[in-house]
Amino acid sequence: MIPMADLAAVLRHPDTLDTLLDRFGAPVVLTALRQEGLAAYVAWLRPDVSLLADDRRRAVLHASVQQAALARVCRGLVSAGITPVIFKGGAWSHTDYPQPWCRPSIDLDLLILPEQREDAFVVLVGLGYTRAGKLPGELVNGQEVFERVIVSGMTMVVDLHWQVSNRVRMTRMMPTASVVARAVPAPFAGDGVRRMNDDDGLLIACLHPTAHHPKHVSMKWTLDVALVARRLTVEQAEAFRAHVRTLGVSALVAQALRHAQALVASDTVPLLRAALIEAMTTDGAHDGSRAWLDPNRDQLQDAWDDLRALPGWCDRYRLMREHLLPPASFMRAKYGTLPAVVLPVVYAHRVAVGSMKWMAYWLRDRWVSHFGASRDPRRDGSADPPPGVGD
């Protein structure tokens, strides 16, 4: 097991990779870099290391194929009168990394206005993409996944969003219409295509890992925060601090920036200076995002947080209903063609099995918390929670 600090040192001082290889051996180092999503970036930092040549070749090939697919998808959407907004890795790879292939991404995240989704579905299906059929609902799910085999062994995945997140609190603090209105041109993807502006992109970089993957915050995501933060001037950094304070997520953002600062150890980036991060920590002493920082947080707590973030009991009831009782068409697609008389039994089975999975996950976290079991989920492969009712 390689300490995170040693891997971070390679990003700051690439020559230390030689020391790691001597100390831990090539297989262990390569595995750690790949698990953390850093192999391609380190291959760019150290082009002389033949050990990383395969990672470099794969990354360059994948990025070139993905870029062609991105341009084709965006061209199709724009032709249909839809304005796609690229965000997360698909945008940062072009705006913040030395080469697009340095930032691996398994899918392409696009944000569109909710009223454009049906037209967007038609475009993607027309381009040969297959719809995954995620759980439908206005509150429970704000995205759909489309897949297409581009070349042998390589699948292009388009994650089409009409909400920035499936977490209700994030959706309410970043309304789609506002994010799209603030978006800026993305010339790397073609005419009419946009990307999130710097503030929105940085907020997503800080919030997404903890909100969606709290038990597996990859170093790749921390590097995203560090690189995106470089674009903000002193004035913009202070404005960003005021913005996240207004949103009530200062504590969570401060932690993300603290981890980013530790990764790159930069004193020249205004947003990563210790004084500003400490000020943001103070801002967040009592804000709601502190609850997201609990290492023993589980899916039940996430579900409760989503319920509390909704304005009234009608919406809360609707969210629970969308989780537990999705449309019959979804149930038939998931469980196969079923006669109507059997559907109540299948719904009961879904509720019972989903509840047991959630309870098992809660009990596991309580066991870890009670007995003080210390583990890094990035090392034992157990980072992904079991599927819940809404999967």
Q: Are residues 177 and 41 in the same domain?
A: yes
Residue 307, domain member (yes or no): no
Q: Kindly state the average pLDDT of the residues 213-228.
A: 85
The pLDDT confidence band at residue 381, using thresholds 50, 70 and 90, is: very low
**What pLDDT sits at residue 286?**
87
pTM, full prediction? 0.80
Q: Are residues 130 and 191 in the same domain?
A: yes
**What pLDDT sits at residue 295?**
66
Question: What are the strands of the beta sheet with 130-131, ordered from one edge?
Answer: 130-131, 143-151, 154-161, 108-111, 85-87, 194-195, 184-185
For 107-132, how does the pLDDT look when each residue is reduced to its tens digit (9 = 90+)?
A: 899 999 999 999 999 999 999 999 88
β-pairing verdict for 143-151 and 194-195: unpaired
Q: Which of 196, 229, 262 is the last residue of a domain?
A: 196
Helix (H) or strand (E) holding 150: strand 143-151
Residue 308, domain member (yes or no): no
Residue 357: pLDDT above 70? Answer: no
Provide the number of structural domains found in the chain: 3
Residue 217, domain member (yes or no): yes
- Torsion sign over Cα 161, 165, 171, 174: negative
Q: Are residues 88 and 163 in the same domain?
A: yes
Question: Which tokens go with 246?
Answer: 């207004």
CA distance 73 to 79: 10
Residue 388, domain member (yes or no): no
Residue 91, domain member (yes or no): yes
Q: Are residues 267 and 375 in the same domain?
A: no
CA distance 94 to 216: 25
Q: Are residues 222 and 247 in the same domain?
A: yes
Average pLDDT, the chain: 84
For 176-199, how does the pLDDT look when each residue is reduced to its tens digit (9 = 90+)?
A: 999 999 999 999 999 999 999 999
Residue 253, domain member (yes or no): yes
CA distance 210 to 216: 8
Pick 306 or 204 by higher pLDDT.
204
**What pLDDT sits at residue 300?**
65
Residue 135: pLDDT above 90? Answer: no
Alpha helices in 4-48 (DSSP H): 4-12, 16-24, 26-35, 39-45
Containing structural domain, residue 359: 322-380
**What pLDDT sits at residue 378?**
35
CATH number at residue 76: 3.30.460
Burial 293-330 (b: 16+ CB within 10 A, else e): eeeebbbebbbebbeebbeeeeebebbbebbeebeeee
Residue 27, domain member (yes or no): no
Q: Are residues 82 and 191 in the same domain?
A: yes
Q: Are residues 226 and 347 in the same domain?
A: no
Q: Kindly state the average pLDDT of the residues 266-290.
A: 91
The rounded percent of the chain whose pLDDT value lies above 90 is 58
For 308-353, how does the pLDDT look when each residue is reduced to its tens digit (9 = 90+)?
A: 777 777 877 677 777 676 777 777 767 666 677 777 777 787 777 7
For 67-115, how does the pLDDT look when each residue is reduced to its tens digit (9 = 90+)?
A: 999 999 999 999 999 999 999 999 999 999 999 999 988 889 999 999 9
Residue 386, domain member (yes or no): no
Q: Are residues 174 and 137 in the same domain?
A: yes
**What pLDDT sits at residue 359?**
66
β-pairing verdict for 194-195 and 85-87: parallel
Q: Are residues 169 and 236 in the same domain?
A: no
The pLDDT confidence band at residue 370, using thresholds 50, 70 and 90, is: low
Q: Which of 168, 196, 224 is the last residue of a domain?
A: 196
Q: Are residues 223 and 188 in the same domain?
A: no
Is 336 exposed, middle or buried (CB count within 10 Å of its CB: 0-12, 13-18, 19+)?
A: exposed
